[in-house]
Amino acid sequence: MSAQIPKANQPRLAKRMTCAVSVGDQRFSGVVLNLSQGGLFVQTSAAPQCGASVVLELNPPGDEAAIPLQTEVVWRRLVPQQLRATAQGGMGMKIVRAEENYYSALAGWMRVVVDPGVRVAPETPIESEVVPYRVRVRAPGGPRTRSVSVDAASDEAARRAALSYVGNGWKVIEVEPI
């Protein structure tokens, strides 16, 4: 069952994840750079016209299943041919139809805040006895680390929330209440 689509002027979350972009019979790869309840921006070489219907298949971080979205192109960012080796265009999309799992995933992603130091309270209340955690993660195949602050009810919930935020391949190296 599809959820009702909210207004387009919702707060946006900067979150990178890969996606498949289907325009008619053509399929392209893309990267979602930000998203909200009503829309998203996808960086891709696909260039459908404004108003075109596009099916997106989001690939959320972790082991979550792909999330299909029916969208409509609202605006496009075109990049001249000579710059396409260094920059890619994209499109702003309005969500026309989404399953409830998109909104559940979005709510979870919006509860996570990256360090340093700035914490944002979630818009919707979450379960009681939720405490702030700092989760350190290591990049896949390298020494790069980062810290993510999350509000969670347990160490394991903090671990899952941090991995959901940073994406595929990262490993948790430390979880501590703050």
Query: Is residue 114 over pLDDT 50?
Result: no
112-114 and 13-23 strand pairing: unpaired
Q: Which residue has the tokens 């387009």?
A: 8
45's tokens: 């070489």
Average the pLDDT over 102-109 and give the result: 83
Average the pLDDT over 143-165 and give the result: 81
Q: Name the pLDDT band for 93 (thresholds 50, 70, 90).
A: very high
Inter-residue contact 94 to 52 (CB < 8 Å): no
Least confident of 5-19, 49-63, 81-95, 130-144: 5-19
The amino acid that residue 138 corresponds to is R
End-to-end CA distance of the chain, in Å?
A: 39
Q: Domains of the chain by range and CATH?
A: 2-107 (2.40.10.220), 111-177 (3.10.20)
Sign (positive or negative) of CA dihedral 30, 31, 32, 33 = negative
**Whole-structure pTM value:** 0.56
pLDDT value at position 106?
84
Q: What's the CA gap between 13 and 136, in Å, rounded? A: 21
Beta-bridge partners for 31: 18, 43
pLDDT value at position 96?
93
The H or E element spanning position 173 is: strand 171-177
Closest CA to 136 of 100, 98, 101, 170: 170
Burial of 4 (0-12, 13-18, 19+ CB in 10 A): exposed
Q: Coil, strand or helix: which one is 125?
A: coil
